[in-house]
């Protein structure tokens, strides 16, 4: 559905570096140690029986000399290694699932946001596929500073606020957003998007004071664009963008 930041695979663009993988595409911000956005396509062909690989690891396809966020970079921070493209959206093969565990696909995400609110939204996205749809998804984050929690065995939870982790190498976002374009399974997808197409736009705080009810965080694509400076759904005709990006979804949430 487009390249919302005009990212390019050019080492001279370290804050908007395009990485295209078979499973998803992303714009990487070297100085923040996380993606600006990640974009992927969800359809029945991507869903299978491959188990969760859990093989979090550095992405060695980053340009030479760039810092590679590692699996331990989040340790003790109070934030989850939050997937952008979810593991469960890529279960057609072991390599596809494994690709979602590259650290370039992660953001520091509050445990409640990741494990409850976001998990519920991700699960709902997959039910749309079961219902005969295909979904174009883009997720990103912006701002600085989030509220996590440190959980130690036998100790009370300890809330923690952080603007960076990993000795300043990774920026903790303040807000996390996602846009889903829902279409009945078919062909010529871009030409089929119109005023009646369901588009779900979500913008949440990165903190633990949240519920599983992701629907309360619905907003417009226009609002996310205003907050981030991105041009989402840029592959659509301008006339279509103007209509669909101004709408707040009011569809079901489960």
Rg (C-alpha) for the chain, rounded Å, is 18
Those residues whose C-beta lies under 8 Å from the C-beta of residue 139, and which sit 6 or more positions away, are: 37, 38, 39, 84, 85, 176, 177, 178, 179
pLDDT surpassing 90 at residue 167:
yes
> Is 114 marked as a binding-site residue?
yes
Q: What residue spans define the domains of the chain?
A: 17-244
Predicted confidence (pLDDT) per residue in 123-163, tens digit: 999 999 999 999 999 999 999 999 999 988 888 889 999 99
Enzyme catalytic residues: 83
Query: Are 204 and 214 in contact, with CB atoms under 8 Å apart?
Result: yes
Q: What is the mean pLDDT of residues 237-251?
A: 96
Counting other chains too, the contacts that 181-189 makes at CB distance below 8 Å and 24 or more residues apart are: 181/1, 181/135, 181/136, 181/137, 181/233, 182/128, 182/133, 182/135, 183/133, 183/134, 183/135, 183/136, 184/132, 184/133, 184/134, 185/43, 185/44, 185/132, 185/133, 185/134, 186/134, 189/134, 189/136
Give the pLDDT mean for 41-48.
97
**Among candidate residues 145, 146, 90, the one with its CA nearest the CA of residue 114:** 146
Among 179, 222, 203, 229, CA closest to 1: 179
Average pLDDT, the chain: 96
List of residues 6+ apart from 175 with CB closer than 8 A: 141, 142, 143, 203, 204, 205, 206, 227
pTM of the shown model? 0.96
Q: Summarize pLDDT for 178-193 with one digit per residue, the tens.
A: 999 999 999 999 999 9
Angstrom distance (rounded) from CA 193 to CA 77: 41
pLDDT of residue 146: 98
Please give the Cα distance from 69 to 63 (Å, whole number).
13
DSSP label at residue 45: G
List, for residues 80-102, the tens digit of each pLDDT value: 999 999 999 999 999 999 999 99
Question: Is 3.40.570.10 the CATH classification of the domain at 17-244?
Answer: yes
């Amino acid at each position: 559905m487009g390249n919302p930041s005009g990212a390019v695979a050019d080492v001279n663009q370290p804050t908007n570096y395009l990485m295209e993988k078979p499973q998803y595409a992303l714009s990487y911000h070297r100085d923040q140690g996380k993606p600006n956005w990640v974009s992927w396509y969800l359809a029945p062909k991507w869903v299978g029986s491959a188990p969760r690989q859990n093989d979090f690891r550095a992405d060695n396809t980053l340009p030479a000399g760039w810092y590679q966020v590692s699996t331990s970079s989040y340790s003790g921070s109070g934030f989850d290694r939050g997937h952008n493209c979810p593991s469960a959206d890529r279960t057609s093969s072991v390599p596809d699932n494994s690709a979602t565990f590259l650290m370039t696909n992660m953001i520091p995400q509050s445990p409640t946001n990741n494990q409850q609110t976001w998990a519920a939204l991700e699960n709902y996205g997959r039910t749309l596929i079961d219902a005969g749809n295909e979904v174009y998804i883009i997720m990103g984050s912006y701002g600085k500073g989030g509220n996590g929690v440190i959980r130690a065995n036998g100790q009370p939870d300890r809330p923690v606020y952080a603007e960076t982790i990993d000795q300043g190498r990774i920026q903790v976002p303040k807000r996390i957003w996602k846009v889903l374009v829902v279409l009945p399974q078919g062909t010529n997808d871009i030409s089929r998007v119109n005023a009646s197409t369901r588009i779900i736009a979500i913008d949440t705080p990165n903190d633990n004071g949240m519920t599983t009810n992701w629907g309360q965080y619905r907003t417009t694509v226009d609002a996310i664009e205003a907050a981030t400076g991105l041009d989402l759904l840029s592959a659509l005709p301008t006339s279509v963008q103007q209509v669909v990006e101004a709408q707040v979804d009011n569809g079901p949430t489960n």
